[in-house]
Structure 1
Amino acid sequence: MNEMLLYALGIVLFALGLLVSIAWHELGHLSTAKLFGIRVPQYMVGFGPTIWSKKRGDTEYGLKAIPAGGYIRMIGMFPPGEDGKIEARSTSPWRSMIEDAREASYEELQPGDETRLFYTRKPWKRVIVMFAGPFMNLVLAALLFFGSMMTIGTAGQTTQVAGVQQCVIKQSEKREKCQSGDPVSPAFKAGLKEGDKIVAFNGTPVSDWDTLSDRIRDTIGPATVTVERGGQRLDLHPVLVPNVVPQKDADGKVVQPLHYTKAGYLGFASKTEVAPLTFGETTERMTDLLENGVHSVIALPGKIPGLWDATFGDGERAEDSPVGVVGAARITGELMTVEAPPTTILVWFMNLLVMFNVSLFLFNMLPLLPLDGGHIAGALWESVRRHTARIFRRPDPGPFDVAKLMPAAYVVAGVFVCFTLLVLAADIVNPVKIT
């Protein structure tokens, strides 16, 4: 198939995956809101002009032109003001923000809806309604990840030799060709060949790459490497030398971004093969993915200067730079053009959707309005206030007025819009490329 068609197909598939992820998120809010008797006038996927809609029951379901988000409208998101009114009553811009939000939440109020308002539900029910959206993204991410890892699997290094390096090159130099003056690699000098399978190191059997790699790194000097070649076992006797190699963490994984250290060096490339993971291995990787996601969110503010320099200056776009919807679509397009087995490309594509859904979960859980986490925090604070009043036998303070936080919500929304525009510009001017 033509490369441009494959690239376009990748973008289309990502757009569909994006729509499904958003629709799935909003379905979490919708289903739990209806479960608790809250009226939902609208369920929309996308923003901008409506290109299709249909009303079923008291909810209008629709699809909008821009697949960059979605929403449901629940009546009574905010309680009435202190005087029981829900209309703007002040010329103050901050006060207007509060009352405009309050007014919008009652815009479609109908007779009989007094018992179907969001704010009238108990705090734990409101927490469930707002948490259900991000949770659905987490569920979808888990389904995609476990499905791909346990059926197709992922490429992993083995103890079989795919190639032998002829010389010793510092891996921090990121070059492949030998130059005059480079010492001969221990593997080449000892006679290690492509196709050999290393089965023991210094007399101790090895069956996986991580174990073999650790033992090579820990050894400088003479060693015995046992290989299987042509149905026979041979003992080779290389003299390992120190070299600059990527640093590993306590779990044996290469530290990202790359840091280098000195360690023992043999000088060969291991063969990779695709194999399904066990449930335990997949769970461990999913846990690591979530932990890395949390660290990425925390580290996000610190990456803004580098992103700005890569967009408007002469800086390089970092490999771990934040990527937006446009950047992710471009990456998906590139994935489709890579010369790799279709199953491998499918796993890459599904993992991209996994990371997108994990990001949606983590961002929406931030305790800031207008994110879902902001409404969750408001409901939890209301619960704390009411329980505290009950313990000390004080009057019920009533529902917490989240609408009063709307000025701060506009600030947060403004920051997110500015960041989104910066990432968009970076994805266009200096995109992250997998090739």
Structure 2
Amino acid sequence: MTILLFILGVLFVAIGIAVSIALHEVGHLLPAKAFKVRVTQYMIGFGPTVFSRTRGETEYGFKALPLGGYVSMVGMFPPNKEDEGEVRRSSTGMFQQLATEARQAETDRLVEGDEDRVFYKLPVYKRIIIMLGGPFMNLLIGTVLFAVLLMGFGTAQTTTTLAEVNKCVITAEQQADTGQTECTEADPAAPAYAAGLLPGDTITVFDGKQVSSWEELSGWIREAAGRTVPLTYERDGVERQTSITPLLTERPVVGDDGAAQTDDDGNYVTREVGFIGVGAEQTLVRQSAGAVLPAVGENLANIAGVVVNLPQRLVDVAQAAFSSEPRDPNGPMSVVGVGRIAGEISSQEVIPAADRVASLVGLVASVNLALFVFNLIPLLPLDGGHVAGALWEGLRRRVAKLFHRPDPGPFDMAKMLPVTYAVAVLLMGMGALLIYADIVKPVSLFN
């Protein structure tokens, strides 16, 4: 059963990513057709064609390698006067030849009536709309999925209901020095256990103050170390009273991500606070529509941080893949790693089914936001590279008009082919590294 659930999780995310890629290309296709550009192909995948069907002037189909997709429009490169006659021989002759061949290939695809339907003749703003259509489709998908996640399933929030009550207090030093995890007669009783609290109890009043959240209660407990305070709790629908004395003890400092913080030597950072020895239950709480955009914005900021530091992140991945160093769970990963995470989540039968589905929806949503951010990088062959080229053309024409100079004409994107090929090679290398790392040292959520 576990293997079947693992496979179902992988399939869920694989289909989600495939649909996201298809809709990304639809984001390019629709405005291109709306602006009367002739679109010759709409393809999902790369390599040999597996299946295709022509509707009107466009061939729709699937390629053998489902690693992306593309929309092919005529007239991506403008003609260039330098292409007339023999190509100049120079140190950059090879690059000029590449540009010439690319322009010729574009010219060969033109048919009668294409004169005013080529991409490069569109106004700058229309070209930007076409190229941004794909990334913004991913942004829309990610936003909708986050709305489903937050408003439909909810987010995990800690409640004031107790999930566990420790019988004794084991200090951080004991755990570090001896590895002790079980209580002995020499260990003091945990305050909550001594006060008679049990798992399933809900704390309602602490030291005469009504409890509204676990964060609020935790703060009061930390501040009440050494004082005996009254406490009200609910058990089986009946309110009960007791008193409790939080113990002053060293506890690990927990960061915003919920993980215990460590110093440069790998030791836990601790501080003395009040402690009663309990763990709280978590439950999914549905959010309002107003929580969606802030959550999307926070995820976009986190993804942008990863992209900005991508070279260093890739170095870290390589070091982890080829050494005994641990893998950063917040670092980049390939579709193989995403699929493995999806399988792990799906196969955790101890987690409620609704929580697992919510996690998978959130995973697909995050992938779409990552596609949005990544495709905005202003380098060819990414969509952001085409946008940058269109903006540069618009700037050149405005400057020329301002200084009463001749119109410089469309920016020749064919001249950027060397950059395109270099970036494509880097992307393939990055993909190969991440796939290798996800196989030999995968990120795991449950280790």
Q: Same fold (TM over 0.5)?
A: yes
Change (3 A) 1:421 1:294: same
Distance in 1 between the 2:174 and 2:404 partners? 67
Residues 1:318 and 2:332 aligned together: no
Partner residue in 2 for 1:53: 52
Q: In the alignment, which of 339, 347, 353 is matched to residue 329 of structure 1?
A: 339
* Higher alpha-carbon Rg: 2
1:54-96 deviations in Å (ceiling 9; x for gaps): 1011100001222210001111112222346599776822223
Overall identity of the aligned pairs, in %: 39
> Quick check: 288-297 or 193-202, which moved more?
193-202
| Cα drift, residue 192 of structure 1 | 3.2
Structure 2 letter corresponding to 1:54: R
Partner residue in 1 for 2:306: 296
Structure 2 letter corresponding to 1:344: D
Partner residue in 1 for 2:133: 132
Q: Which runs of 5+ in 1 are unaligned?
A: none
Give the superposed CA RMSD.
2.7
Residues 1:71 and 2:76 aligned together: no
Partner residue in 1 for 2:206: 201
Change (3 A) 1:375 1:88: farther
Distance in 2 between the 1:70 and 1:42 partners? 10
Partner residue in 1 for 2:229: 224
Residues 1:266 and 2:276 aligned together: yes
Partner residue in 2 for 1:210: 215
Partner residue in 1 for 2:115: 114
CA contact (8 A) 1:364 1:373 kept: yes
SS in 1 for 2:282: strand
Residues 1:145 and 2:146 aligned together: yes
Partner residue in 2 for 1:5: 4
CA contact (8 A) 1:197 1:229 kept: yes
Partner residue in 1 for 2:266: none
Structure 2 letter corresponding to 1:290: L
Partner residue in 2 for 1:338: 348
> Quick check: 264-273 or 352-361, which moved more?
264-273
| Cα drift, residue 277 of structure 1 | 1.5
Distance in 2 between the 1:104 and 1:186 partners? 78
| Cα drift, residue 4 of structure 1 | 2.1
Q: In the alignment, which of 219, 235, 241 is matched to residue 234 of structure 1?
A: 241
Residues 1:424 and 2:435 aligned together: yes
1:386-433 deviations in Å (ceiling 9; x for gaps): 122222222222112222222122222221111110000011111112
> Quick check: 255-264 or 89-98, which moved more?
255-264
Q: Which runs of 5+ in 2 are unaligned?
A: 264-268
Partner residue in 1 for 2:286: 276
Distance in 2 between the 1:317 and 1:45 partners? 32
1:84-127 deviations in Å (ceiling 9; x for gaps): 65997768222233334333444421111111111111111111
Q: For this pair of structures, how many residues does the alignment match?
A: 431
Distance in 2 between the 1:206 and 1:429 partners? 48
Distance in 2 between the 1:397 and 1:124 partners? 17
1:31-73 deviations in Å (ceiling 9; x for gaps): 0111111111000011222121110111000012222100011
TM, length-normalised to structure 2: 0.88
CA contact (8 A) 2:195 2:242 kept: no
Change (3 A) 1:246 1:57: farther
SS in 1 for 2:160: strand
Change (3 A) 1:319 1:393: same
